[in-house]
Structure formats: structure tokens, C-alpha cells
């Protein structure tokens, strides 16, 4: 692995880890905050379910990162394998974040009908913003690694 490849790999792994950590922190923050705000009863369960799903996804990604780090350390994985693994982790996190849009839409409609529900909507939309920004950083780092690998293969 070249020094540039190692640097890009470390950067991508760090960004993916930060994204997983942000997902877990935001999901846990929402889970703790929701009981203190009015929320439509029909939306409470799906919102809490979303939090659980985000935490589960975060845990799986952190586990996969640990496995990848071990495989790299033991020489069982190369840069190409690592890049593919990180791309799969990105896809896993994106899949979990897709559920946020549905919950946000439903909370927004509820808040439009009853302003008491606005606090729940704001909590979720702010958490979504943090998670999406973190995901964007992870995806950019993973794509940079993939692009560097493609360029190296082309030479």
C-alpha cells in the first residue's frame, strides 16, 4: 500500500467511524429527548423505532470497522478490499438514514396540524442534519479512496 493510499484509507476509516458515532449519539439523544416533548402517539413508535435502527446500524458499522482494521493488521485485507468494505458500510448507513426522511415528513405534517408537535419535528430535523453532514463526509472520504485506487489501476 502506498503512503497516499494509507493516508486515504485512514481518512476514510476515520470518517466512517465518525459517521457511525454521530448516528449513535443523535439516535440516543433523540430517544432520551422524545419523552419530554409532545408527539403524536401514532408517530412516537416509528420515531423510537428509527432511533433503534440507527443505533443498530451504527453498532454494526463499528464492528465491521474493527474487523477490517484487524484484517488489515494481519495482512488479510488489501487496499481494494478495504475500499469495498468501506463503500458497503457507507451504503449500510445510507440505508438507515433513508428512514429519517419518512419520519421527518410525518412529523412535519403533524406539526403543521398542531404546533405542539413542532418540538419533536425540530429535534428530529436537527439530528438528521448532523447525521447527514457526517454521512456526507464519510462518503466523500470513501469516494476519494476509491478514485485514487481507480487512478492507480489505470496507470
C-alpha cell at 12: 476514510
Fold for 3-149, please state it. Answer: 1.20.120
Cα–chain center distance at 10: 18
Quick one: CA dihedral 15, 141, 95, 62, positive or negative?
A: negative
Close Cβ partners of 112 (under 8 Å, ≥ 6 residues apart): none
Strands (E), 6-126: none
Domain parsing of the chain, residue ranges: 3-149
| Single pTM value for the model | 0.92
Q: Which long-range contacts (CB under 8 A, 24 or more apart) does 67-70 make?
A: 68/13, 69/13
- The confidence score (pLDDT) of residue 2 equals 65
CA distance 89 to 120: 29
Asked if 142 contacts 90 with a C-beta cutoff of 8 angstroms, the reply is yes
pLDDT, tens digit only, all 155 positions of the chain: 567 888 999 999 999 999 999 999 999 999 999 999 999 889 999 999 999 999 999 999 999 999 999 999 999 999 999 999 999 999 999 999 999 999 999 999 999 999 999 999 999 999 999 999 999 999 999 999 999 888 887 75
Name the nearest CA neighbour of 17 among 95, 80, 69, 70: 69
CA distance 42 to 44: 6
Cα dist from 109 to 26, 43, 67, 85, 127, whole Å? 22, 11, 42, 38, 18
Asked if 86 contacts 16 with a C-beta cutoff of 8 angstroms, the reply is yes
Amino acid at each position: 500500500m502506498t503512503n497516499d493510499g494509507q493516508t486515504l484509507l485512514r481518512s476514510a476509516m476515520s470518517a466512517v467511524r465518525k459517521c457511525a458515532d454521530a448516528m449513535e449519539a443523535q439516535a440516543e439523544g433523540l430517544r432520551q429527548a422524545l419523552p419530554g416533548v409532545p408527539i403524536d402517539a401514532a408517530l412516537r413508535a416509528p420515531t423510537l423505532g428509527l432511533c433503534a435502527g440507527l443505533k443498530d446500524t451504527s453498532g454494526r458499522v463499528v464492528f465491521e470497522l474493527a474487523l477490517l482494521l484487524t484484517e488489515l493488521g494481519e495482512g488479510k485485507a488489501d487496499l481494494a478490499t478495504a475500499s469495498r468494505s468501506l463503500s458497503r458500510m457507507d451504503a449500510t448507513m445510507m440505508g438507515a438514514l433513508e428512514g429519517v426522511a419518512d419520519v421527518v415528513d410525518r412529523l412535519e405534517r403533524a406539526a403543521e396540524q398542531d404546533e405542539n408537535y413542532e418540538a419533536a419535528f425540530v429535534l428530529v430535523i436537527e439530528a438528521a442534519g448532523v447525521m447527514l453532514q457526517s454521512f456526507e463526509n464519510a462518503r466523500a472520504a470513501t469516494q476519494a479512496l476509491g478514485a485514487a485506487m481507480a487512478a492507480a489501476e489505470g496507470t
